[in-house]
Structure 1
Amino acid sequence: MKIAVLFCFFLLIIFQTDFGQNEEIPRKQRRKIYHRRLRKSSTSHKHRSNRQLGIPQRTVFTPVARFPIVNFDYSMEEKFESFSSFPGVESSYNVLPGKKGHCLVKGITMYNKAVWSPEPCTTCLCSDGRVLCDKTMCHPQRCPQTVIPEGECCPVCSATEQREPTNLLHKQLPPPQVGMDQIVRKEALQSEEDEEVKEEDTEQKRETPESRNQGQLYSEGDSRGGDRKQRPGEERRLAHQQQRQGREEEDEDEEEEGEEDEEDEEDPVRGDMFRMPSRSPLPAPPRGTLRLPSGCSLSYRTISCINAMLTQIPPLTAPQITSLELTGNSIASIPDEAFNGLPNLERLDLSKNNITSSGIGPKAFKLLKKLMRLNMDGNNLIRIPSQLPSTLEELKINENNLQAIDEESLSDLNQLVTLELEGNNLSEANVNPLAFKPLKSLAYLRLGKNKFRIIPQGLPGSIEELYLENNQIEEITEICFNHTRKINVIVLRYNKIEENRIAPLAWINQENLESIDLSYNKLYHVPSYLPKSLLHLVLLGNQIERIPGYVFGHMEPGLEYLYLSFNKLADDGMDRVSFYGAYHSLRELFLDHNDLKSIPPGIQEMKALHFLRLNNNKIRNILPEEICNAEEDDDSNLEHLHLENNYIKIREIPSYTFSCIRSYSSIVLKPQNIK
């Protein structure tokens, strides 16, 4: 046995030695030797057709993979044609997602810890840049057939199912009318039953030996079919059950005869009629039924009257309601008593109506002590409503006709986080520099589509994101952002800014400013003195002809996203020092729709680059080692390379041009222009 083991061990050593001899040449030397062979073969055997490109779609090259020799007549063209169909994830020009714990949801920035409901039965939470969603849990039903009422999350027993053994008729609540007092009565009845059960248990614990004997007699008589003896406290419980059964039988008879009147009924609501989460009873509202106008609906604690052709705010009395949606109606005024019956409103949507400033009563919002979100987009307001609740966290008055913001317009709104005033007639002439002073918590400010010529003065120190697109801003002075040390995003696209009108100290010392959008301005070269902390720079649609040397050299940790699409960049407008300071950090570089005739220098040195767009230029040739450096051992991180709509002759591309790219499916070469 020992001899056999030693013999096997000896054979294993021999095989391992042979295998090691095959691996004596390091990977780096093999790659150099291989590229030399390819260069020789590409010059002396250019028109040979006995070798073909045999790479399957989405092939990933491993370190020991051998690259095939290319047939320059047709094989490479056929393979590159399939590369353009690669369904990769395209990048966008939006601000950085997930920064500062924010979440980007369908183009909307959600702050950290924000809660919203994308669907009626789903609740989502933004937690440190991650979106966590949870579906509503429903209690199981014990009836044969269930239905989900419109606007509800959980199923209820069907109104057409057969009677249960207790001969109780299941009823379904009429959708347009909901008796709020019925819900309270149901919860009160449940608490009464719980108390009775507790009393019964207490009496059982206190029973004497005599009562125990009575219990034994009860069980024995029950098993023999004899007379049943009642335990202490059972008489009262049976009387209560008989009383409830009598009420239910009366309700059954009334429904069969069609004489039921829901406004005056005194019996409690069945549990399978209207399911509510078990919680302590709410304060009882005024008795009666909540009648909703035509076109309105109720979903849990939200009344929705969207596009219901209302001309005034409906008189509603429902303290349990926390959200009211009145979008798309013809409401023109808000009287002082409009929301007296809805004191617990947390969200109010009045967008797309005809509300005027003169039509809003001075105390219209005064009683809404819990209101957190108010939307008045698309109305005819000329000023911000007065006496807004101090609990407001979000205020939207976009697309109105605001003419001014004075010192008192936003007073007492020290909890306001989001303020949107886009599409109005605001400018530095009618916005008081002290108007934003009370907003101690403001983080998100939108002032786009107005008439500002300079950055508004007096911005609160808490501001994190500032949007000023589609204004007439021409200059950025040194004092614009002196007090906004937390600012993270500035959007200034579609203005009239020139690079020599940006003061050298305007934002270079900002420590948290990570994203700037200067698209569609009047820039002729990439601005100097950019913030040290900048990660994301968008310069689309300018007239940029040059990227100055070392313009990114002072940035820490370094620029990651640079978008220069739709400019006038040519080959002489950039060199190796143009990207100095960003070689180690750039992840996305967009140079499409310019006047480039060759691959920009330094691309192969951008080790972190994942996305490169060079399409729609005038590039004719791709020289060896412009994309990949054959002298280096590491593969490229490029996942998307766009070179379509140039003047490249695909058949003349050397086969080793893209050897460092792990997946050829990442390359888009077709179509090309013909000239």
Structure 2
Amino acid sequence: MKFSSWYCFLLLLVIQTDFGQNEETSRKERRKMYYRRQRKSSSPIHRSSRQLGIQQMRIVTPAATLPMVNLDYSTEEKFESFLRFPGVEASYNVLPGKKGHCLANGMIMYNKAVWSPEPCTTCLCSNGRVLCDETKCHPQMCPQTVTPEGECCPVCSDTEQREPTSLLHKQQPSPWVEMHQALRKEELQFEEEEEIKQDEDREQKEKIPRPGDWGRPPNERQSREGGEQRPGEKGRQAHQHRNPARENENEDEDEDEDEDDDDAVRGDMFRMPSQLPIPATPRGIPPLPSRCSLSYKTISCISADLTQIPPLTAPEITSLELIGNSITSIPDEAFNGLPNLERLDLSRNNITSSGIGPKAFKLLKKLMRLNMDGNNLVAIPSELPSTLEELKINENNLQVIDEESLSDLNQLATLELEGNSLSETNVNSLAFKPLKSLSYLRLGRNKFRIIPQGLPASIEELYLENNQIEEITEISFNHTRKINVIVLRYNKIEENRIASLAWINQENLESIDLSYNKLYHVPSYLPKSLLHLVLIGNQIERIPGFVFGHMEPGLEYLYLSFNKLVDDGIDQVSFYGAYHSLRELFLDHNELKSIPPGVPEMKALHFLRLNNNKIRNILPEQICNSEEDGDSTLEHLHLENNYIKTREISPYAFSCIRSYSSVVLKPQNIK
């Protein structure tokens, strides 16, 4: 029995020893494999692959995205936080309308419109909100950089070697010069290869024994051949001893070049991504002027001191910017080399009507946007392309628009002719008849005394500010059933000169701006569809009763700032018809001595301005109705610059307002 016990014990001991050795052996093997992997990973190939992996991971980070990729999301966040900020001011100039348009520097922009208010800023109109983004510049890999005039991104100075930058930015070294250099280098390389091939062919021929060599021994012929070095032999030997990897790379590049037709230019000096087209066939084309730049399909020569349109042959270019130069004329052949232009900006030059050739724009069969603001034109250029959708000739000296001036422009949607010398005497009543698609018309800062006649039926927005209009007749808007916005500020209109049937039956008219006219009370017979009424800077003393009673769905924005309203001019029925709809009411800078009646009944009111009046006290029920338990919708209440003694205000005066920070009471005037 003892023997069997000892035997079992020894057997267990042996098994345990073997298992420990095996486990230690496996540990050693695993450790060896680990160190082998470490040594492999430390090799240059593995290090580079790891670095490549890191770089690939970095590419998907948000920092690598282009600007304005996520405009709607980022700016919507800012917009929501802006609404939550206490004391935010509403804009007098907001014209919401039904189209989601935006107001930018006094100009209405269409929904989804994109513009650049400054050289380094791009803005987007998104459903009534202006979203702006600043241009992001790529870092320059050079010791010295300069920022050209009129540009926002720095570029390498001319004394340093420039690194190729992204074509999505305008600030680049001139690609035309580099293309010529690349082509020249390619031609030299091609000539060298051709010479080498010719030498090889000549050598093959020379290897055939000459008639005088047939009797000589072979070694003598070899010594003769080896002793004489033919022209090009050195280059041929260098060619034969090239790096095989480099030759394979060149072969791959040649195959890629055959497969991809977009890469028309090859070379070490200048390479374009295959997805971006080459702007032009560069052979024989003069380079761009020194202060011009190329960005994708756009050539920009902004403030480049040009005196004439540069000769360009670039069929792929779709946009040309020649802003702020000293160009005086446009010859007939000016754009012959740019047949695919879609956008042409010639603003802020010295172009005259006599300097424009009769066929200057005729060959631009795809042109959609033409800007000639700030020139010296006295007439609209002739034979404009029928493809035009936007034409801007603001700040010129236009003195006539006849029946043929706008002929064949049946696709034109936007026409801006502000800051000229136009009036009903020099604008033909049939001038706008060909414009079947026109929806946006700006005629501000001219000399009109009446509403222009013959407006197209398609018109939706009309801007006639800063004219001399005195009257609105019954036929002024007879045929404009789609009109949505009318701006008539800074004219000479009186309420008794507005015909009772001038616009009351308009079904789409939502916004009217009659600021800075000669109105003494709020006009009657306003359009039934009106949502937005701006009457700032008149001499209005009274809001007649039931003046808003016929409106459906109801007035939402009423701006009466800077008038002469007094307590007797507003009564309980003055806002009848708007109690359920009014969202913003501006009565600041008037002569009111108390809170107007009807404020507690305004169930949708968000913004109330009563600052800069003569109000002395606030009674408990003038803003909050004690009979109702619900909170007020008021988010902003301005009562500053009155004569209110804040310590005497009843604690229940603002009890219905959810946030006391929404009430602005300071400063107050002292008697």
Counterpart in 1 of 2:247? 242
Counterpart in 2 of 1:313? 309
8 Å CA contact retained: 1:398, 1:420: yes
Q: Relative to structure 1, is the Cα distance of residues 654 and 184 closer, same or farther in structure 2, using a 3 angstrom cutoff?
A: farther
Counterpart in 2 of 1:636? 632
The answer to which structure, 1 or 2, has the higher relative contact order (CA under 8 A, 6+ apart) is 1
Query: How far apart are 1:555 and its partner, in Å?
Result: 0.2
Query: How far apart are 1:349 and its partner, in Å?
Result: 1.1
Residue identity matched to 2:495: E
Which digits, 9 at most, give the CA deviation of each residue in 1:590-648, with x for residues without a partner? 11111100000010110111111111111111111101011101111111111111111
Counterpart in 2 of 1:561? 557
Q: Relative to structure 1, is the Cα distance of residues 374 and 569 closer, same or farther in structure 2, using a 3 angstrom cutoff?
A: same
Alpha-carbon separation, structure 2, partners of 1:173 and 1:647: 61
Residue identity matched to 2:87: G
- After superposition, residues 468-487 of structure 1 pair within 5 angstroms as 468-487=464-483
Counterpart in 2 of 1:490? 486
8 Å CA contact retained: 1:184, 1:284: no
Residue identity matched to 2:247: Q
Residue 579 of structure 1 aligns to a residue in which SS?
coil
Query: How far apart are 1:181 and its partner, in Å?
Result: 8.5
Query: How far apart are 1:99 and its partner, in Å?
Result: 2.7
Which digits, 9 at most, give the CA deviation of each residue in 1:565-614, with x for residues without a partner? 11111000010000000011111001111110000001011011111111
Counterpart in 2 of 1:218? none
Q: Relative to structure 1, is the Cα distance of residues 521 and 300 closer, same or farther in structure 2, using a 3 angstrom cutoff?
A: same
Q: Relative to structure 1, is the Cα distance of residues 522 and 277 closer, same or farther in structure 2, using a 3 angstrom cutoff?
A: farther
Confirm whether residue 647 of structure 1 aligns to residue 643 of structure 2.
Answer: yes
TM-score, normalised relative to structure 1:
0.68
Q: Relative to structure 1, is the Cα distance of residues 530 and 124 closer, same or farther in structure 2, using a 3 angstrom cutoff?
A: same
Query: How far apart are 1:106 and its partner, in Å?
Result: 6.3
**In structure 2, which of residues 306, 327, 341 is the aligned counterpart of residue 345 of structure 1?**
341
Residue 99 of structure 2 aligns to a residue in which SS?
helix
Counterpart in 2 of 1:203? none
Alpha-carbon separation, structure 1, partners of 2:655 and 2:487: 39
Q: Relative to structure 1, is the Cα distance of residues 469 and 124 closer, same or farther in structure 2, using a 3 angstrom cutoff?
A: closer
Counterpart in 2 of 1:582? 578
Report the more deviating stretch, 596-605 or 342-351.
342-351
Query: How far apart are 1:294 and its partner, in Å?
Result: 2.6
- After superposition, residues 431-442 of structure 1 pair within 5 angstroms as 431-442=427-438
Residue 381 of structure 2 aligns to a residue in which SS?
coil
Residue 431 of structure 2 aligns to a residue in which SS?
coil
Query: How far apart are 1:88 and its partner, in Å?
Result: 2.5
Counterpart in 2 of 1:366? 362
Counterpart in 2 of 1:399? 395
Counterpart in 1 of 2:539? 543
- After superposition, residues 185-196 of structure 1 pair within 5 angstroms as none
Q: Relative to structure 1, is the Cα distance of residues 594 and 360 closer, same or farther in structure 2, using a 3 angstrom cutoff?
A: same
8 Å CA contact retained: 2:544, 2:570: yes
- After superposition, residues 209-358 of structure 1 pair within 5 angstroms as 242=247, 245=250, 268-270=266-268, 273-276=270-273, 278=275, 285=281, 287-288=283-284, 291-358=287-354
Counterpart in 2 of 1:102? 101
8 Å CA contact retained: 2:97, 2:484: no
Report the more deviating stretch, 537-546 or 282-291.
282-291
Counterpart in 2 of 1:3? none
Query: How far apart are 1:310 and its partner, in Å?
Result: 1.3
8 Å CA contact retained: 1:180, 1:318: no
Alpha-carbon separation, structure 2, partners of 1:509 and 1:97: 20
Residue identity matched to 2:302: I
Residue identity matched to 1:102: H
- After superposition, residues 406-425 of structure 1 pair within 5 angstroms as 406-425=402-421
Q: Relative to structure 1, is the Cα distance of residues 278 and 448 closer, same or farther in structure 2, using a 3 angstrom cutoff?
A: same
Q: Relative to structure 1, is the Cα distance of residues 182 and 509 closer, same or farther in structure 2, using a 3 angstrom cutoff?
A: farther
TM-score, normalised relative to structure 2:
0.69
8 Å CA contact retained: 1:103, 1:111: yes
Query: How far apart are 1:344 and its partner, in Å?
Result: 1.4
Counterpart in 1 of 2:508? 512
Q: Relative to structure 1, is the Cα distance of residues 127 and 645 closer, same or farther in structure 2, using a 3 angstrom cutoff?
A: closer
Query: How far apart are 1:160 and its partner, in Å?
Result: 9.1
**In structure 2, which of residues 426, 432, 436 is the aligned counterpart of residue 430 of structure 1?**
426
Alpha-carbon separation, structure 2, partners of 1:518 and 1:277: 55
RMSD (CA atoms): 3.8
Q: Relative to structure 1, is the Cα distance of residues 437 and 240 closer, same or farther in structure 2, using a 3 angstrom cutoff?
A: farther
8 Å CA contact retained: 2:368, 2:387: yes
Query: How far apart are 1:376 and its partner, in Å?
Result: 0.8
Which digits, 9 at most, give the CA deviation of each residue in 1:644-664, with x for residues without a partner? 111111111111100001011
Alpha-carbon separation, structure 1, partners of 2:406 and 2:146: 42
Gaps of 5+ in 2: 1-84, 164-170, 185-242, 254-263
**In structure 1, which of residues 634, 653, 657 is the aligned counterpart of residue 653 of structure 2?**
657
Residue identity matched to 1:625: E
Alpha-carbon separation, structure 2, partners of 1:441 and 1:109: 18
Q: Relative to structure 1, is the Cα distance of residues 105 and 184 closer, same or farther in structure 2, using a 3 angstrom cutoff?
A: farther
8 Å CA contact retained: 1:182, 1:268: no
Gaps of 5+ in 1: 1-85, 162-171, 186-237, 249-265
Alpha-carbon separation, structure 2, partners of 1:502 and 1:317: 56
Sequence identity (%)? 81
- After superposition, residues 170-185 of structure 1 pair within 5 angstroms as 174-175=173-174, 177-178=176-177
Alpha-carbon separation, structure 1, partners of 2:668 and 2:421: 47
